[in-house]
Amino acid sequence: MATPQNSFRVPAEVPRYFADRGLKPGFSWLDIWGEEHAHAFTVAKAVDVELLGVLRDSIKRAIDNGQGFENWRAALKPELERIGWGKPRLVVDPTGERPDRKVDFTAPGRLQTIFSSNMRAAQAAGQWERIQRTKEALPYLLYVRTTSLAPRDQHLRWAGTILPADDPWWRTHFPPNGWRCKCAVRQVSRFEREDRLGQPGFSDERPALDEKPFLNRRTGEIVRVPDGIDPGWAHNPGLAAERRRAAADALAGRIEAAAAGPNPTAVRQALRLGVEDLVRSEPFERHHAEALNLGARRDEAAATAKAAGQSKPAQDAAAAKAAPWTHVNLPIAVLPRRLDALRGIGLERAPVTITASDAAIAHSHAAHSSVPEDWVKLQAVLDQGEIHTSRTDPTRIWAFAKVSGEEWSAVLTRVRGAWRTLTLFRPARKSYRANQRAREGRSVMLNEGENDADEGP
């Protein structure tokens, strides 16, 4: 039997939109609303995180490799069978609001909806990025007639509309504008705009924004939806991704500006505020959730390899292949001034921000289950804790402190002058700190609570 062929070339901007979307299980498509789709990958009835991860990763590979639907579907089938979703299964609504449903994630119609909606959104985001980059030369967008055999009347009325690329109408009406919507936009020059406006069927007048109320029966919220756009689709995927990047850039700029400031204490304070904002933000929550997902998949792959009698290196290789770490390091804390000596000789201008990767978060969770908010405590552990160094391993420091009545421990390592978190956890034994202090080569650099208040943070 011939392998189904249906491939296309995907522009480089498209994978960037899809790559950093976290997982958000949901029983109903109403659970994840509008622009939230630009930040989280979700599939209706996919309340199982492993299932959602397999679907997300398979579409990411399809985007990276330019696969079409049939090739994607053929590759996905054995993956669904591997995790026990190769046939219909009963799915329970976590909220208890809806009756249990038997769902078949191999059904062609369901898979077509999953594939096309995610592909179209990713392509739209990639196109928007290119539009913003080239709008000086091609400053207008033309709404192009749908290629659907059964077009929506409202979408047909929008066909021929020519508006500036930055017109607010594109915030809500940039295609796709609904399930299975095949409308498109095309960038045009000033010359083509003038030429088109002289022909029937083209207009530079912004279509009326008629709205109607829609009740989200999952949340009870009544929202206004533009007439002609399916509920939940009145957003621009590329603009949402752009805002997400702008927020990250703003934080980076805030940290950079603070580091260039003349007042060391003000620098540290500004850095602390910026990093704490990040740790308490939704992007870090996604980073944490994805880390736990990767860790669980790695553990499962390693356990399978071990059960098959494979060696430890083979188990590690199986884990790395099943779920490679992204090695994205996010700022998680700021090195206190009392630890400045640890920046090292010749490293006076080395970064004072401490980062945590997905590997560190997953490792910490394996030692003791964690939630994103726990990582705010790392700063207090470093500010107030007992700090250990070791002559046998000068690139690491250990920190111990009681925070909110609980004992916490952290281990940091220095890589090319910058400090990264290896683990943050609550020790299971009360004697853990004393046992660590007694280890060979270990010395106590600072006892818990030693800090010069006059020096500031």
Concatenated DSSP letters of 321-343: HHS------EEEEE--GGGGGGG
Residue with token string 């017109």: 167
Neighbours of 367 (CB within 10 A): 14
C-alpha pair distances (Å), 73 with each of 8, 102, 267: 15, 20, 52
Q: What is the CA radius of gyration of the chain?
A: 26
How far apart CA 446 and CA 398 sit, in angstroms, is 11
Contact in structure between 193 and 140 (CB atoms under 8 Å) = yes
Contact in structure between 204 and 195 (CB atoms under 8 Å) = no
**Rounded mean pLDDT of the chain?**
77
- pLDDT by residue (tens digit) across 68-108? 889 889 988 898 888 888 888 777 766 666 677 787 888 88
Residue with token string 């530079």: 204
Helices 312-322 + 282-307 axis angle, to 10: 140
The per-residue pLDDT for 411 is: 93
pLDDT grade for 245, boundaries at 50, 70 and 90: low
The per-residue pLDDT for 64 is: 78
What are φ and ψ of residue 213, in 5° steps? Answer: -75, 145
170 pLDDT higher than 90:
no
- pLDDT by residue (tens digit) across 307-356? 999 999 899 888 887 777 876 778 888 888 888 777 653 434 445 778 88
Residue ranges covered by each domain of the chain: 1-134, 135-229, 261-455
The residue that leads in pLDDT, 71 or 220, is 71
Query: CA dihedral defined by 386, 391, 396, 398, rounded to 10 degrees?
Result: -20
Q: Which residues contact 442 (CB under 8 A, 6 or more apart)?
A: 388, 389, 390, 398, 436
40 pLDDT higher than 60:
no
pLDDT grade for 247, boundaries at 50, 70 and 90: low
Q: Cis before residue 108, ω within 30 degrees of 0?
A: no
Confirm whether pTM is higher than 0.85. Answer: no
388 pLDDT higher than 90:
yes
The highest-confidence range among 217-226, 318-327, 363-372, by mean pLDDT, is 363-372
